[in-house]
Amino acid sequence: MIKKGLVIIWLLVLTSAVGALFWYQDWLYQLPTPVPKNYKLVTTGSVIELKGLLREKSKKPVFLHFFNPDCPCSRFNKIHFQSLVRQYSQHVTFIVVVMSIKTYSVQQIQEKLELNLPVMFDKSIAAVCGVYSTPQAVLLDSKNRLYYRGNYNRSRYCTDERTSYAKRALIGLLNKDANQVIDPLAVRAYGCSLPYCKN
């Protein structure tokens, strides 16, 4: 009887510890990523010059996915990003921009995302676009103007359709909505700070 009681107490302690760890991680995600001291804001409508970026002749809009394989938030975002690619790749060029201090090959990144997309390793693109955390989305119109820079979703697992910011930006751009209303939470960065995975 005593052993059974001890096992139950041990299981309760273990369950409480796992629950507390999960709550703590979720709480950390709710905190915005600290803005770097040398951060330069890039405003919507700014022309983004990306050297070496191959643009298709059709001049489709470009969606830059800032991704860090070592960032838990980037991994939680994977299914949501895959659904955006499947839904909008006919109309938008998707490019993955890897932001990691570790070295990865194009094939490794494509395997991690389970997508055959162009992959870039030029970390300077983040500063040009005003990005300082991962995962982040940047959407450029067909004239290389910044249409959207921000979060994919307010939910850690990108499951809340009401705050599906990147998807709403894609729809707005494709519908030629020049007056999109952006929720302040969409542009306040969450996730892992660059260049290291600190969340």
Q: How far apart, in whole angstroms, are the C-alpha atoms of residue 50 and residue 67? A: 17
Structural domain contains residue 74: yes
- Of the pLDDT bands very low, low, confident and very high (cuts 50, 70, 90), residue 4 is confident
What is the maximum span of the chain, computed from C-alpha positions, in angstroms? 75
Residue 74: closest CA among 33, 35, 105: 33
Residue 71: closest CA among 120, 113, 128: 113
Domain count within the chain: 1
pTM to 2 decimal places: 0.82
Residue 42: closest CA among 106, 157, 124: 124
**In CATH, what number is assigned to the domain containing residue 159?**
3.40.30.10
**Residue 75 vs residue 112, higher pLDDT:** 112
Paired tokens of 113:
């995302």
Structural domain contains residue 53: no
- What does the pLDDT look like over 154-181, one tens digit per residue? 766 667 778 889 999 999 999 988 777 6
Structural domain contains residue 88: yes
Paired tokens of 147:
């249409």
Structural domain contains residue 169: yes
Mean pLDDT, rounded, for 71-80: 89
Range of 100's domain?
Answer: 62-193
**Residue 67 vs residue 4, higher pLDDT:** 67
Query: What is the DSSP secondary structure assignment for residue 147, as one 8-state letter?
Result: E
Cα four-point dihedral sign 172, 173, 178, 179: positive
Structural domain contains residue 5: no
Structural domain contains residue 156: yes
Structural domain contains residue 141: yes
| CB atoms near residue 53 (< 10 Å) | 18
Mean pLDDT over each residue of the chain, to the nearest integer? 84
Structural domain contains residue 147: yes
Region of 158 please: left (phi>0), alpha (psi -120 to 50) or beta: left
| CB atoms near residue 197 (< 10 Å) | 20
Q: How far apart, in whole angstroms, are the C-alpha atoms of residue 171 and residue 108? A: 30
- What does the pLDDT look like over 13-47, one tens digit per residue? 777 766 665 555 555 556 678 888 888 889 999 99
Q: Where are the alpha helices (DSSP H) in the chain?
A: 2-30, 72-76, 78-88, 106-113, 124-129, 165-174, 184-187
